[in-house]
Structure 1
Amino acid sequence: MTVDSGTFRAVLGQWSTGVSVVTTVADGAWHGMTASSFSSVSLDPPLVLVCLARRLRTHRLVEASGVFAVSVLGKDDARLGRVFSGMEPGERFAGRAWRAVRTGAPVLDEALGWLDCRVAHAYPGGDHTIFVGEVLAGGVPRRAAPLLFHSRAWGQLADPLPDEVSVADTGLAAALYRRSRPSGTAPARISPAGANGLLSAVRAAGVRTRLPAVNACRSDADGGAGGDRSILVTDPAQLARRCPGGASVAEVYDGRRTSEIVEAARVREMRVVGRVGDAFATGGERTVLAAVDRLVALGCDEIALDEGAEAASPLQVRRLLQDAVAATRPRALRVRLREAYGLGPANALTAMKSGVRHFDATLGGVDGGLCAEDVLFLAERLEVPSPVDRAALVTAAGDLETVWGAALPGRTYRVASRHPAVKDDPYAPDR
């Protein structure tokens, strides 16, 4: 006695699969259907299989033509999958770009991946036939999150939290530099020694700091021993001479001279962070992903996405990062978020749940960016570890407030610090 069909279908429904469209050609006409019963068989020779029900027209056409193609669908292709499965009305090949490659079977131009195959074997499999195809051609037109099928429903990847979160400080040095310079009749608010002491403390906590753009290659631009430093480069000439400041990372925005800067950084054996500005602007996803592809092609070690003047929503962050994380693998993807209208922590959580583990932030949030301590506080509450010493950053934030002369935009350091600067804070813990 075998298992009943209802139980069998229910159990198989718990196995998550990707979604593909299997196509073929007959008498010059294209035909196709949605299929999740697709798998690799062999690397050498390259073989894949699809299982098609004998009652289906596509089965008969593949059997007669001896060819088929497989197009893997992305998360934004759910409607296409429903049309090809007959769940939704519509002309199957209308509205999207398809093309024949080797066998004449069409492949989707914007699929996550496609394979063009010739039937090498056909085996009976109950009410299905197992067609094994020899792969003649293949392509990966784009990188994005896949469309999934689970329990008879279309879905997307789950949202696991990262196994670790780290931060780099991209704004503190510049903010301190501005405060260490006299302005008109007003004296400097912070001494160079005080600024360097704060930056050294941040690096000692395990945070990479960015040198100020002004005189970035001067030895006194960011003093103090130890720790990792980066510089934002806008002209390859900035890397033409030795940088006593000790920067080992070059940051460069996607633009006209990006390739020259990357090449100059490589000569100096520096790691390169390729940045995309205003990455979360409404309607700009395709432009941003194209910039990400360019930076990846140039060989950047890390890719960074900056929030611009327009405050991003968690939905915007989610939509972009699902595809950007896939497009940058195995490189690290960084995000630089702002603290705007209280959305900063929500966007940081969305980023973490989209697969981001590297954040560009600023001690105390003094430049309008997300506060480094707040990011680490959020990670701690989510039980996500970090190599950064958050307690040391909290102490540094208290020191920063003392010399800053005003309350910092950051939030969590005020309740976590026992620094004298916050002794009168009503939210401070009991002594």
Structure 2
Amino acid sequence: MAVDAQTFRSVLGQWPTGVAVVTTTSGDGWHGMTAGSFCSVSLDPPLVLVCLARDIHTHALIERSGVFAVSFLGKDQAVIGHRFAGRESGDRFARGTWAPAPTGAPVLAEAVAWLDCRVAYAYPGGDHTIFVGEVQTAETPRRTAPLLFHSRAWGQLADPLPDEVTIADTGLAAALHRRVTASGSAPARVTRAGAARLLDAVRAAGVRVRTPVPPGPQMNGAQMNGTGPARCPSWSVLVEDAVSLTQVPRDSPVTAEIVDGPDAPRLIEAARARGLAVVGRVSDVFAPAREAAVLAAVDRLAAAGCAEIALDEGAEAASPLLVRNVLQEAVARARPVPLRVRLREAYGLGLANALTAMKSGVRRFDVTLGGIDGGLCAEDLLFLADRLDVATPIDRAALVAAAADLEALWGSALPGRTYRAAS
């Protein structure tokens, strides 16, 4: 005896799929519907299939026109999906920007991807017809997470924790340099040797450290040529102009950090020509109404050949919701270039934002030992990762010891707190 219809539907509902809108054209205009039964068939020639019930209007129109298009919806396009599923009344093409593909079938301009097809074969399949289409044209207009269908509900990809996170220190050297140097009537409060010793300790823990350009004698305990403990990663330097770039040795293990701006493409090209890896940085990423500009900057830096793209929180304190919205889009746009983020400890939200960033696809963080410059504290982030069972290549115990040394050198309690916890 065949399985009953209710059980069959229930079982199929456990198979997650994307949400596809299948469209076609006829003499009286465009028509479309959502379809869960879609899959690829062949790469050569490029074939896909959709299964449509024989008693629906779109089936008859595709049979007559011999063409159809498939638009895959993004996570923020559920309203469009609901309308094409018949859950909302009104013109189905009123939402979104629709345009005719070469076959004449309409495609959604803001879709995650779309395919334009001519029917190559049509096979009976019970109460459905299996339309096999040969793909004529295809596009991926937008990089974002897809809309998903599972158990008769629409949603988006879950936010899993990463297997591993890593960090770079982008604030310690500058903070130490300010205390090494006398300012007005204020004497120097940190010795050059003490500053160099701390930077060596942080690098020995496996952390890349940003240093001034040129590094200068005040930070000369470990040289930029990569000497020191074998596990030490390279330094990074913030390159602001062509002059500072020439002070970075060619083909060195130094990473050039370049802020997005009018001169960024030229500087990135020049840095890569010198054999340097480049981190492209975007500032004030969570400021009001900045999302579109931030995503455009991510696109530019990825196209320019950056090895990494870094997003800086800036002066505007971010909320976990804003962090999630911006980073989910930015991570998708940057792929395959890895994204890193620098967060601040503001209003007690630093670690909450870091957790949100991890669950939004970020695996690399820019931090500061002890949080002494207002940035997210290095050892606090590693404490969070430890409690979440997220691995890290960083020697946390060594970093905790460095934080204790920094407090003694600093002469006052550090903003970070977890270095006092057991490592």
TM-score (norm. length: structure 1): 0.93
- What is aligned with 1:425? none
Letter in 1 for 2:396: R
Q: Does 1:264 align with 2:264?
A: no
- What is aligned with 2:361? 355
Cα 1:161–1:289, aligned 2, differ >3 Å: closer, same or farther?
A: same
Letter in 2 for 1:365: G
- What is aligned with 2:324? 318
String of CA shifts for 1:68-111, please: whole Å, max 9, x gaps: 01111100001000011011223211142111121000111111
Cα 1:90–1:223, aligned 2, differ >3 Å: closer, same or farther?
A: farther
Tell me the distance in 1 between the aligned counterparts of 2:245 and 2:9: 62
Counterpart mapping for 1:145-160 below 5 A:
145-160=145-160
- What is aligned with 2:21? 21
Tell me the distance in 1 between the aligned counterparts of 2:89 and 2:298: 36
Count, aligned residues: 415
Q: Does 1:342 align with 2:348?
A: yes
Letter in 2 for 1:395: A
String of CA shifts for 1:199-236, please: whole Å, max 9, x gaps: 01000000000012xx4354654531433111111212
Residue 247 (structure 1) shift: 5.3
Contact 1:240 1:264 in 2 (8 A): no
Tell me the distance in 1 between the aligned counterparts of 2:220 and 2:170: 13
- What is aligned with 1:235? 241
Tell me the distance in 2 between the aligned counterparts of 1:389 and 1:133: 54
Moved more, 278-287 or 390-399: 278-287
Residue 19 (structure 1) shift: 0.6
Counterpart mapping for 1:27-426 below 5 A:
27=27, 29-212=29-212, 215-218=213-216, 220-224=218-222, 225-226=227-228, 227=232, 228-243=234-249, 248-416=254-422
Contact 2:252 2:276 in 1 (8 A): no
Letter in 2 for 1:262: I
Contact 2:174 2:211 in 1 (8 A): yes
SS at match of 1:350: helix
SS at match of 2:366: strand
Contact 1:277 1:307 in 2 (8 A): yes
Moved more, 259-268 or 279-288: 279-288
Cα 1:62–1:245, aligned 2, differ >3 Å: closer, same or farther?
A: closer
Letter in 2 for 1:22: V
Contact 2:214 2:248 in 1 (8 A): no
Cα 1:246–1:194, aligned 2, differ >3 Å: closer, same or farther?
A: farther
Tell me the distance in 2 between the aligned counterparts of 1:128 and 1:384: 47
SS at match of 1:76: coil
SS at match of 1:300: coil
Tell me the distance in 2 between the aligned counterparts of 1:222 and 1:131: 69
Give unmatched runs, 5+ long, in structure 2: none
Contact 1:145 1:326 in 2 (8 A): yes
SS at match of 2:420: helix
Tell me the distance in 2 between the aligned counterparts of 1:245 and 1:174: 24
Tell me the distance in 1 between the aligned counterparts of 2:193 and 2:217: 13
SS at match of 1:364: helix
Contact 2:251 2:275 in 1 (8 A): no
Residue 245 (structure 1) shift: 12
Give unmatched runs, 5+ long, in structure 1: 418-431
Letter in 2 for 1:346: A
TM-score (norm. length: structure 2): 0.95
Contact 1:49 1:130 in 2 (8 A): yes
Residue 53 (structure 1) shift: 1.1
Identity %: 67
Residue 38 (structure 1) shift: 1.2
Contact 1:113 1:141 in 2 (8 A): yes
Cα 1:126–1:222, aligned 2, differ >3 Å: closer, same or farther?
A: farther
